[in-house]
Structure 1
Amino acid sequence: MKKADIDAFYADRVSLDRQKYIVLEYYLETLIEPREAAAHLCQEMSTAQWSRVGVDEDFRPEFGAKVVELTVLDDQARPSSPYLVSTMGSTAERVARVNVTIWYPYHNFGTKIPNLLTVVCGEGVFHAPNICAIRLVDIDFPESFLADFQGPQFGVAGLRDMLGVYDRPLLFGVIKPNVGLPPEPFAQLGFEAWSGGLDIAKDDEQLGDVDWSSVEERSRRLGALRKRAEELTGEKKIYLCNITDEVDRLLELHDIAVKNGANAVMVNGMTTGFSAVRMLRKHAQVPIVSHFDLMGPFIQLPWFGVKDQVFTKIQRMAGFDVLIYPGFDHRLKTSKEDVLANAKACLQPMGSLKPTLPVPAGSQWAGSLQPLYETLGSVDFGIVPGRAVFGHPQGPRGGAASLRQGWEAVEKGIDLKEYSWTHRELQQAIEMHTS
């Protein structure tokens, strides 16, 4: 690549109109000189060939992606991704590791999520010449871009208004057994958990509209018992019904669930597609909750794929009111820094979009509340245990009660074990967790 052609894909950020560009942060490993590799990346993801043969024209000034910052981390390291190097027909010992900031003119594709992802995660990025590993680390949108998105309909404040809960984390629970249980006993478990203090009883992400547990029957039974639990406890409750399905059924299943008393719906956004969620948001009457299915293959390698906070921001734009994402748990392979970064992406200012409630997941119980509260520095989060509620020795009532007691200990500044001496449900939860 000639020097003039490389230079055409570089710019000083002060020369660019921020409102016309999305900002992309990539980590990459390259077999060639880093400055040329970054220019190749911009070329592949934007103009590719920038003029017609025999015509004096150049589309790069208006349509070309621009490198505004490039930092070489190491140009002597062996690659983090040797198998990728080998598939490129090279056994290079020297691979440059680079952080690069690219400003991309979004008028190339418009304010459309499928087209956005085609550009920032597509062929031009992950098959760029001589780049043997690449990861999209972050993405930032100008106000002009965000203005076309509705974002959450309810958000954190709307969800709290529904429940009348303002001073503590929200307590979700995944009804267990999650797959195989007919709607009648399944609904009874939800009722027991609500009665013990759970705010939101939810379907598992694997439980959709199936012959042995249809959305129609499940939502009807749980909707009725939700109202009964509200009468019994004097508290508002939410039944979160999973309507994940083929795209052409989402609106129908939403309507069935809501008609029957489900007052929130869950959609596995990565599997149905964010554009489908954006469509549902325009129709929805209740909060929409995301589960992180299909995210693992993208986020778990530090040198390849997409960092989860990118998906968090896009899901907030699409209209999710609640985001369930990988939290503290060794099996979910998530760091404290990632948990915090995702929470910030849910809650921090983002144009006029309402905040999304962050719900870090992963084998949680009453003892999860303190570390999450300390990490996030806010009560604006949720936890979503399964077995800690529904496998509790006293059943779902006892499991839900243990969560309430766990938060009481945090509020009062009392050690969890000490507080359990006078709270049997919490004591048994600790015994479960340590056995």
Structure 2
Amino acid sequence: MDVVRAVYEIETALPLEKTVATIAGEQSTGTFVAVRGETERLTALHAAAVESIVDLPPSGRPPLPGSSGDWADARRARVTIAFPLHNFGASLPNLLAAVAGNLFDLREVGALRLVDLDLPPAFAAAYPGPAFGVLGTRKLVDRGTGPLIGTIIKPSIGLSAAQLAALVAEIAEAGIDFIKDDELQGSAPYLPLAERVRAVMSVLKPYADRTGRMPMYAFNITDDISRLGANHDLVAEAGGSCVMVCVNTVGLAGVQYLRERSELPIHGHRAMFGAFSRWPQLGIGFGAFQKLARLAGVDHLHTNGIANKFYESDDEVLASIEAVRRPFLGGYHILPVLSSGQSAGLAHATYAATGTDDLLVLAGGGVHGHPGGSAAGVRSMQEAWAAAVEGESLESRAAKVPELAAAIEKFGQR
């Protein structure tokens, strides 16, 4: 029998084994009381099974509101529960209902976090995953090796079409690989998607005609599901080479809907991820989230970057990057996207820690906040990463590249 194995970190003040059994029952055949029709045969075929309980040290954190028992008696464990696939089938929305549904509401748990998923081959048959991934993205960008250097449009809100076009022209001329809309830029009344696409492509297409190479621009097409197809088509028909969606706001089903129709790489932004993951006593960890996003069809996925402006530690970020790069169901290779507070002075530390150049490195303020302007910011990132990959010290390269020296002075280095 095919099963989905869900791995949780749980903490409870009630008897641990009984609490884990309650979770398995709540998410499969059981309820709070025995009911007519709950036969041994039905339970054998459909009940979720507790496969392992491994004790962990207590977290020392307070319990979730409304949890039962005396927290002084709490036990913590890593738990694996197997869910029969025939309960819900190879369906991402229904998978989530099973492994991450009502269990977070149970009074029995003072902490509960879904940290990993082991999925059977049926999901690979149902979901083709990324259409472009690492190699397809490199081909479109015409960058066979080395990290892809990119930026985010800043200011994220308020630029006119003319201002946007001028900024894109500047950073394209600097040789940037990738540009993306901010997650806040959808199709706002002040600059609708169609107008934004016209402005950007009026610059990028002549640049490509002249140079033979066009930076990839990820247009944020996040919207109601009914409009995702039309938004994608708008970008594709204008000659664009990438679309972006906020995975958590359109949902996994929205990403999969887009994947079925998309002719372009899908840049997956993880906006709202902190709402599911920041409090360690509750939610869904990145290890589980990234597998779901890859199945749904993203080609790139934000992992955060070291020394970031958000809450995650460097160790957590590096674990996320490694998780995205690890093969899943035999493939589903996508580009990890490093962002949040990135600048040239982080290149060497990041490269040393990740050990790979299969990265899309985005610097927003680290490019546009450069004292010499956005083009100088692009060159500082390019030179820093080239030095890191080539084994030249940051100091040595900065002595030869004024833009890099200015970036280090402005933003610092790790």
Instruction: Calculate the TM-score normalised by the size of structure 2.
Output: 0.94
Structure 1 position 116 matched with structure 2 position 95:
yes
Q: Provide the C-alpha distance between the structure 1 equivalents of 2:295 and 2:30, rounded to a whole number of angstroms.
A: 29
Which region of structure 1 is more displaced relative to structure 2, 247-256 or 296-305?
Answer: 296-305
Provide closer, same or farther for how the CA distance between residues 275 and 83 of structure 1 changes in structure 2, counting only shifts above 3 A: closer
Structure 1 position 30 matched with structure 2 position 12:
yes
Instruction: Tell me the CA shift for residue 371 of structure 1.
Output: 2.0
The residue aligned with 2:24 is 42
Structure 1 position 73 matched with structure 2 position 56:
yes
Instruction: Tell me the CA shift for residue 395 of structure 1.
Output: 1.8
Q: Provide the C-alpha distance between the structure 1 equivalents of 2:136 and 2:240, rounded to a whole number of angstroms.
A: 16
Instruction: Tell me the CA shift for residue 78 of structure 1.
Output: 7.9
Provide closer, same or farther for how the CA distance between residues 83 and 371 of structure 1 changes in structure 2, counting only shifts above 3 A: same
CA RMSD of superposed structures (Å): 2.0
The runs of 4+ residues in structure 1 deviating greater than 4 Å are 49-52, 54-57, 231-234
The residue aligned with 1:60 is 43
Instruction: Tell me the CA shift for residue 234 of structure 1.
Output: 4.5
The residue aligned with 2:150 is 172
Instruction: Tell me the CA shift for residue 134 of structure 1.
Output: 0.5
Structure 1 position 143 matched with structure 2 position 121:
yes
Provide closer, same or farther for how the CA distance between residues 212 and 92 of structure 1 changes in structure 2, counting only shifts above 3 A: closer
Q: Provide the C-alpha distance between the structure 1 equivalents of 2:154 and 2:39, rounded to a whole number of angstroms.
A: 67
1:131 match: secondary structure: coil
Q: In the TM superposition, what whole-angstrom CA distance separates every residue of 1:239-275 from its partner, at most 9, and x where no partner exists? A: 1100111111111111112222321010001011110
Unaligned runs of 5+ in 1: 1-16
Q: Provide the C-alpha distance between the structure 1 equivalents of 2:168 and 2:5, rounded to a whole number of angstroms.
A: 44
Instruction: Calculate the TM-score normalised by the size of structure 1.
Output: 0.90
Q: Provide the C-alpha distance between the structure 2 equivalents of 1:110 and 1:267, rounded to a whole number of angstroms.
A: 26
Q: Provide the C-alpha distance between the structure 2 equivalents of 1:137 and 1:83, rounded to a whole number of angstroms.
A: 17
Instruction: Tell me the CA shift for residue 352 of structure 1.
Output: 4.6
Structure 1 position 270 matched with structure 2 position 248:
yes
Q: Provide the C-alpha distance between the structure 2 equivalents of 1:149 and 1:241, rounded to a whole number of angstroms.
A: 24
The residue aligned with 1:94 is 73
Q: Provide the C-alpha distance between the structure 1 equivalents of 2:371 and 2:206, rounded to a whole number of angstroms.
A: 24
Instruction: Tell me the CA shift for residue 330 of structure 1.
Output: 4.8
Instruction: Tell me the CA shift for residue 142 of structure 1.
Output: 1.8
Q: In the TM superposition, what whole-angstrom CA distance separates every residue of 1:334-390 from its partner, at most 9, and x where no partner exists? A: 233332332233222222543010012211112222222222211111111101212
Q: Provide the C-alpha distance between the structure 2 equivalents of 1:287 and 1:59, rounded to a whole number of angstroms.
A: 44
Q: Is contact 1:27-1:98 (8 Å) kept?
A: yes
Q: In the TM superposition, what whole-angstrom CA distance separates every residue of 1:192-235 from its partner, at most 9, and x where no partner exists? A: 11111211111111011012111111111211211233345443
Q: Provide the C-alpha distance between the structure 1 equivalents of 2:116 and 2:77, rounded to a whole number of angstroms.
A: 15
Provide closer, same or farther for how the CA distance between residues 330 and 217 of structure 1 changes in structure 2, counting only shifts above 3 A: closer
Q: In the TM superposition, what whole-angstrom CA distance separates every residue of 1:82-102 from its partner, at most 9, and x where no partner exists? A: 352xx2364442111111111
Which region of structure 1 is more displaced relative to structure 2, 231-240 or 164-173?
Answer: 231-240
Q: Provide the C-alpha distance between the structure 1 equivalents of 2:38 and 2:412, rounded to a whole number of angstroms.
A: 73
Q: Provide the C-alpha distance between the structure 1 equivalents of 2:412 and 2:319, rounded to a whole number of angstroms.
A: 29
The total of aligned residue pairs comes to 412
Match of 1:348 among 318, 323, 326: 326
Q: Is contact 2:303-2:321 (8 Å) kept?
A: no
The residue aligned with 2:229 is 251
Q: In the TM superposition, what whole-angstrom CA distance separates every residue of 1:59-99 from its partner, at most 9, and x where no partner exists? A: 2211111111111224xx58623352xx2364442111111
Identity %: 32
Which region of structure 1 is more displaced relative to structure 2, 41-50 or 136-145?
Answer: 41-50
Q: In the TM superposition, what whole-angstrom CA distance separates every residue of 1:114-146 from its partner, at most 9, and x where no partner exists? A: 1111111111x1123411211111111122322
Pairing of 1:206-225 with structure 2 (within 5 A): 206-225=184-203
Q: Is contact 2:110-2:281 (8 Å) kept?
A: no
Q: Which amino acid aligns with 1:27?
A: E
Pairing of 1:268-347 with structure 2 (within 5 A): 268-347=246-325
Q: Which amino acid aligns with 1:33?
A: P
